[in-house]
Structure 1
Amino acid sequence: MTTNTQKTQNDQARGTGTMLVTSASGKTGRRVAERLAARGVTVRAGSRTGTTPFDWEAPETWAPALQGADAAYVAYYPDLAAPGAAEAMSTFGRLAAESGVRHLTLLSGRGEPEAVVAEEALRAAADGVGLTVVRASFFAQNFSEGLLAEGVAAGTLVFPAGDTVEPFIDADDLADVVVETLTAEGHAGRVHEVTGPVAVSFAEVAAEISRASGRPVVYEAVPEAEYAGLLTGFGLPAPEAEWLAALFATLLDGHNGWATDGVKRLLGREPRSFAAFAAATWGDAGA
């Protein structure tokens, strides 16, 4: 006898149906959508400006994007630990269940207590929907595509991380993990923690970028309050700047300073190191 759960897993293992990718223009969503499409999966790329309108700040866009989808990659913006995330996950989960979605893969933050609250809200609301949670470490691409890219390009990496180490994960490895959970059996109900292969400090990150690019990049550690002030100076509203600085300071207080074997367990290979990422991104091959 085949249970509904087994049927869901079997369907996903064959990569059948339509898969919604939320935040499809973002660092992870773009990569997930590309990989699914390369496998022949029907991808519904949800974004503010794409062919499938989807905006986390506009809940009225969620149900139409979910309608008819068999699975979805859930990448909440700005972060699953942000104020209001749990409420958003509760609403999204209910809509997913009502729309007949069979599986959700949720991107979460490793070592974020507030993110766990949002995970549980989604799990409770998406009754009958298979859920996989992927908890990721700090992205290596944050230095090349994200908040820190401008400073790195100018030669100064300013951040409230002290001498803490972090096992930065390459977003390409993360995307491969997400696609695995969406297209293979056995991931419903599981939580995967994924990181890079080794933890390095921000000073080491700056040194690797300097080595790869051939130009000096210096790490400058600053207190949380000073970093919030810098973000405000760049035009970020004060409450958002203070929340973001507090999030970074919390994440990088040392409690995440060790690597997991999550990528190897799921993909059968080692994740890419930050040194290899830097060489590919800023070296001759990536320039």
Structure 2
Amino acid sequence: MTNASVTSAPILVLGGRGKTGRRVVAGLRDRGLPVRAASRTAVSPPAGARFDYADQTTWGPALDGVRAVYLVPMLEFVDAATVAAFVRRAAGEGVRRIVLLSARGEDHEAHPHQEPVERVVRESVPEWTILRAAWFAQNFSEDFLLEPVLSGELALPAGEGREAFVDAGDIADVAVAALTDAAHASRVYELTGPEALSFRTAADLIAKASGREVRYTPVDRATYARALAGQGYPDEVVEVVADLMETIGRGAGEAVDDAVPRVLGRPARSFADYAEEAAAAGAWKPGAAQG
């Protein structure tokens, strides 16, 4: 199967408005490739499609004519069995290539929440690539860690454990390469930044870049769980995030891999560079978390 036979058809990008998805969409469009950005909110076909794991009537239109998929499983909110059913449906509709955004677990294996989805992807399509990503640097500016940064305190149950935070732009660039080049088929890439940092160091770098006071305070799991629940997060999300924090505390996230420079031919982006760019873009200005 040639690259052209895949990329002449639309490439479906799930989570097309998310942290990595919107960057994958931009990278594919920069290459002049046809993209179908999928989102739970209504978007205009054929460049976009409404997609909701919970609504199987959206699956067929999103997959129509597609031969490659960037798969974001959203396992914090979606049961693995539902994602597996979608993968099998995609294969049945003629999808030949899937690039899966997965997560690192301990001992360089898939995180337990991701392992069933990894397995079904491997079994369902002839060309697959699995991206086991470290924690996104953008979690501090575009996700659940933004409000704590704006409050001036990251109170987390991660101890002094370190994580090799990876930039979402690097993940997207690797995904684009895998979606457009069969040389990356049957590969598992561990995507990390160039160094492992503690949350304390991350807070210091954000403070330096933004000019804000940001400190890190280690807390126990119960305290953190209550704080998340108080912010309206459902119980299952609270448990997953607390588990991941404790995993970092055990040192499971500190391994640095060279997959980003191997695939892209350039260094992985540092957390300090991410923080400087996010600050320059106004990520941590007053009111940034609104809306």
Does the TM-score normalized on the shorter chain lie above 0.5?
yes
Instruction: Answer yes or no: is 1:67 the counterpart of 2:64.
Output: yes
The match for 1:35 is 27
The ranges of structure 1 where at least 4 consecutive aligned residues each deviate by more than 6 angstroms after the TM superposition are 284-287
CA distance in 2: counterparts of 1:190 and 1:198, whole angstroms: 23
Instruction: Answer yes or no: is 1:25 the counterpart of 2:17.
Output: yes
Q: What is the RMSD of the two structures over their aligned residues, measured on CA atoms? A: 1.9
CA distance in 2: counterparts of 1:244 and 1:88, whole angstroms: 21
What is the CA-CA distance between 1:240 and the residue it aligns to? 3.1
After TM superposition, the structure 1 = structure 2 runs for residues 76-91 of structure 1, keeping only pairs within 5 Å, are 76-79=73-76, 84-85=79-80, 87-91=81-85
TM-score when scaled to structure 2? 0.88
After TM superposition, the structure 1 = structure 2 runs for residues 1-287 of structure 1, keeping only pairs within 5 Å, are 7-9=1-3, 11-12=5-6, 15-49=7-41, 50-51=43-44, 52-79=49-76, 84-85=79-80, 87-111=81-105, 112-124=111-123, 126=124, 128-283=125-280
What is the CA-CA distance between 1:238 and the residue it aligns to? 2.9
CA contact (8 A) 2:10 2:67 kept: yes
CA distance in 2: counterparts of 1:33 and 1:25, whole angstroms: 9
CA contact (8 A) 2:71 2:101 kept: yes
Deviations 1:34-93 (A, max 9, x none): 1111111111011011231101222332222112111110011144xx7721x1232112
CA contact (8 A) 1:97 1:129 kept: no
Aligned length: 274
Matched residue SS, 1:73: strand
The match for 1:3 is none
User: How many percent of aligned residue pairs carry the same amino acid?
Assistant: 43
TM-score when scaled to structure 1? 0.89
The match for 2:289 is none
CA distance in 2: counterparts of 1:114 and 1:77, whole angstroms: 10
Unaligned runs of 5+ in 1: 1-6
CA distance in 2: counterparts of 1:55 and 1:8, whole angstroms: 30
Unaligned runs of 5+ in 2: 106-110, 286-291
